[in-house]
Chains A and B, each alone.
Chain A
Amino acid sequence: MISNPRPESAKKAAVSPAPGRRKFLNGIAAAAGTGCLLNLAALMLARPAAANPPQALRPPGALDEPGFLAACLRCGLCVRGCPYNTLKLAPFGGAAVAGTPVFTARDVPCEMCEDIPCVKACPSGALKHELKDIGEARMGLAVLSDHETCLNFLGLRCDVCYRVCPVIDKAMTLESMHNPRSDRHAMLLPTVHSAYCTGCGKCEKSCVLPVAAIKVMPIKLVQGQLPAHYRKGWEEKEKHGSSLIGDQVQMPVRGMEDKAFGDSRLNDTGKVGSAPGGLNSGWKP
């Protein structure tokens, strides 16, 4: 039943604030609402964008990504400091976090300046000023990502990535391996060592293929990690001077008596010792 609404509204007016004050409160509510709304929108935009694309590398000395996103003022002083135009500020609406400095190794790699002017130019410390030796920079980690197209993996001698590496023979070595295809050649496999690779991107830049077979990406993205409790037996043995658990009993391999220890690969003849490729290697657990 619809009753006379007047007493109702009169009651309401009695308890609700005076019009002036109500307007004031409404104003505050609207202002607070606008404030929250815009910031939430920013947050929603920021969250998915916080992950840079894998090919966007940070300048030398950059704090790890969360720290960097708190510290970087988006000023571009590092960009201006770089004599090789390596660094770029990411544009708004692009894949990388807008306004922050990145470089793409395949376009312009970092030349590893000895005096590291980009770091010196950074006013905030988003690029750590403690970095004095560019060899200690870790902008990323090179990965030979495609074993099918790398010319050295095909048994050819390209070696270009190895030769351009500013930390040659430390960050990158050529590891020789038997070439099973030709059966008489070696393959010299470009091998990256994370202890020395600065992630400068020179190798990726210079890969002769139309699409590089070696790529530099953020360390977080590519580096694996052993469980903390793992010990490498051979390292422990070396540290200790001898095996920690004493000499191993030699177990016969059933059905393989008189044949190679621990190696079931056999040549056609089945004769011990005549197989090529270092059978009977003497390997023991």
Chain B
Amino acid sequence: MKLAQEAIDKKGWLGAHRWLILRRISQLTVLVLFLSGPWFGLWLAKGNLASSVFLDVLPLTDPYVFLQTLAAGFLPASSALIGAGMVVAFYFLIGGRVYCAWVCPVNVITDLAAWARRRLGIKGGRVPDAHSRYWILGGSLLVAAWSGSLVWEWVNPVTIIQRSLIFGLGGSLTVVLAIFAYDFLVASRGWCGHLCPQGALYGLLGDVALWRVSAARRAQCNDCMDCFTVCPEPQVIRPALKKAGQESPLILDRNCTACGRCIDVCGKQVFTFTHRFDQRSDS
């Protein structure tokens, strides 16, 4: 059967793409907040995702970029400090990799690559170890400390791409294509799922966050495997769905991006968004 066919039959196409659509709207909204200024003169957010000011009052700073400047031996001024605090607090509470699914524009590219891969039935490739991201994260901080400079920011596709989108800079199409090509041809879910140190840091930040997906009706699961197919971090599902090493129905792995695709595609309504303390389950 086609992917998510049962879900589409039961909930309709919109229902089976609900969270996907909401996520795209969210990602787009973030960009529009920054672009309404240069486009229409309506300044809602200034700067970019590395550091910004909302409505001229609320500072926000990306914790990864912030950490790199710290590692490089510079203590940023209070506004960046407060900004980083805000962002850390938000993702600490809500869910670290919520950033990945709901904010980061690169996610659109890697989702597209994964979709294309699935559609064309491309299998195999060379997938790096999923712990690579932590090594890249640590390495980038070491290199920053050693060189006294934000070395990773020379190549960080996340900041390069969102910066180019917001400031209309050229030259980043190569980065977009490289990420797409890598995920499409070399490694399934390669970038976001295995390498990106930014996502890794957000994951670490949100290790105990509140917003969770629960496989609350896991007894209904008919092993269609659709959730595993669409999940950008498929390893996170098993413990909750199959009680592999845990009793709780909650997907507690820090790398669940709270994208809600598993909720969308499941024809048996197994998954649902809930909070960390909701242990209800039908098995």
Task: List chain A positions with a Cβ less than 8 A from chain B.
Answer: 27-28, 30-32, 34-36, 38-39, 41-43, 45-46, 49-50, 66-67, 69-77, 79-81, 89, 91-94, 97-99, 121-125, 129
Rounded to whole Å, the gap between the CB of A31 and the closest CB of chain B is 4
Q: Which residues of A contact B53 (CB under 8 A)?
A: 77, 121, 123
Query: Do most interface residues of chain A lie in helix, strand or loop, or is the interface mixed?
Result: helix
Contact between A35 and B160 (Cβ–Cβ < 8 Å)? no
The answer to whether A73 touches B155 (Cβ under 8 A) is no
Least CB distance, A24 to chain B, in whole angstroms: 10
CB pair B148 A75 closer than 8 Å: no
Instruction: Decide: A123 near B143, CB < 8 A? Known: A31-B128, A70-B149, A92-B160.
Output: no
Known A-B contacts A43-B143, A125-B76; the reply to A35 vs B132 at CB < 8 A is yes
Q: In the complex, which of the residues B37, B43, B72 has the most CB atoms of chain A within 10 Å of its own CB atom?
A: B72
A123 touching B160, Cβ below 8 Å: no
User: Do A99 and B159 touch (CB < 8 A)?
Assistant: yes
14 inter-chain pairs at a CB distance below 8 angstroms, sorted by A residue, are A31-B128, A31-B135, A34-B136, A42-B151, A69-B149, A75-B50, A75-B61, A80-B47, A91-B172, A94-B171, A99-B50, A122-B77, A124-B79, A124-B80
- In the complex, which residue of chain A has the Cβ closest to the Cβ of B130? A31
Q: Is B269 an interface residue (CB 8 A)?
A: no
Closest to B137 in A: A35
Q: CB-CB < 8 A to B83: which residues of A?
A: 123
* Nearest neighbor of A28 in chain B, beta-carbon distance: B131
Report the Cα distance A34→B191, complex, angstroms: 12
User: Which among A39, A43, A129 has the highest number of chain B CB atoms within 10 Å?
Assistant: A39
Mark B13-33 against chain A: 1 for CB-CB distance below 8 A, else 0: 000000000000000000000
Indicate whether B100 reaches chain A with its CB closer than 8 angstroms. no
B74 touches A (CB below 8 Å): yes
Q: Is the CB of A79 within 8 A of B51?
A: no
A49 cross-chain contacts in B, Cβ below 8 A: 154
Q: Quick check: is B235 within 8 A (CB to CB) of the other chain?
A: no
Instruction: Judge whether B167 and A32 touch: CB under 8 Å.
Output: no
Q: Is B257 an interface residue (CB 8 A)?
A: no
B66 within 8 A of A: yes
Q: Once the chains are docked, how many angstroms separate the CA of A76 from the CA of B151?
A: 18
For residue B59, CB closer than 8 A to chain A, the reply is yes
CA distance A92 to B163 in the complex (A): 10
Decide: A77 near B51, CB < 8 A? Known: A94-B171, A123-B77, A123-B80: yes
- Does B139 lie at the interface of the complex (its beta carbon under 8 Å from any beta carbon of A)? yes
CA–CA, A275 to B69, complex, Å?
A: 66
CB distance from B63 to the nearest CB of A (A): 11
Nearest CB of chain B from residue A283's CB, rounded to whole Å: 51
A31 and B147 form a contact (CB under 8 A) = no
B65 beta carbon closer than 8 Å to chain A: yes
Which B residues lie at the A interface, using CB under 8 A? 37, 43, 46-48, 50-53, 59, 61-62, 65-66, 69, 72-74, 76-77, 79-80, 83, 128-132, 134-140, 142-144, 147-155, 159-160, 163-164, 166-167, 169-172, 174-175, 195
Chain A residues within an 8 Å CB radius of B128? 30-31, 34
* Contact status B59-A34, CB under 8 Å: no
With the chains together, A125 CA to B75 CA distance in Å? 9
Chain B hits for A92, CB < 8 A = 160, 164, 169, 171-172, 174-175
Residue of chain B at shortest CB distance from A47: B147
9 cross-chain pairs, A with B, having the tightest CB-CB distances, nearest first: A35-B135, A125-B77, A75-B51, A70-B72, A93-B171, A39-B139, A31-B129, A91-B169, A31-B131
B74 touching A71 by the CB < 8 A rule? yes
A46-B151 contact, Cβ under 8 Å, with A35-B139, A70-B69, A99-B163: yes
A73 touches which one: B37, B66, B142 (CB < 8 A)? B66
Neighbouring A residues of B163 by C-beta, 8 Å = 74, 76, 89, 99
Closest to B169 in A: A91
Chain A proximity of B142: nearest CB distance (Å):
8
Do A66 and B149 form a contact, CB below 8 Å, given A34-B129, A46-B154?
Answer: yes
Report chain A residues within 8 Å CB of B130.
Answer: 31
Question: A142 vs B254: C-alpha distance in the bound complex, in angstroms?
Answer: 54
CB-defined contacts of A41 to chain B, threshold 8 Å? 155
Among A34, A75, A77, the one with the most B-chain Cβ atoms within 10 Å of its Cβ is A75
With A42-B155, A69-B150 as known contacts, state yes or no: A77 contacts B169, CB within 8 Å.
no
Which B residues are in CB contact (< 8 Å) with A50?
149
Q: Nearest Cβ distance between residue B157 and chain A, in whole angstroms?
A: 9
Interface residue from B62, B77, B147 paired with A46 (Cβ < 8 Å): B147
User: Are A76 and B80 in touch, CB under 8 angstroms?
Assistant: no
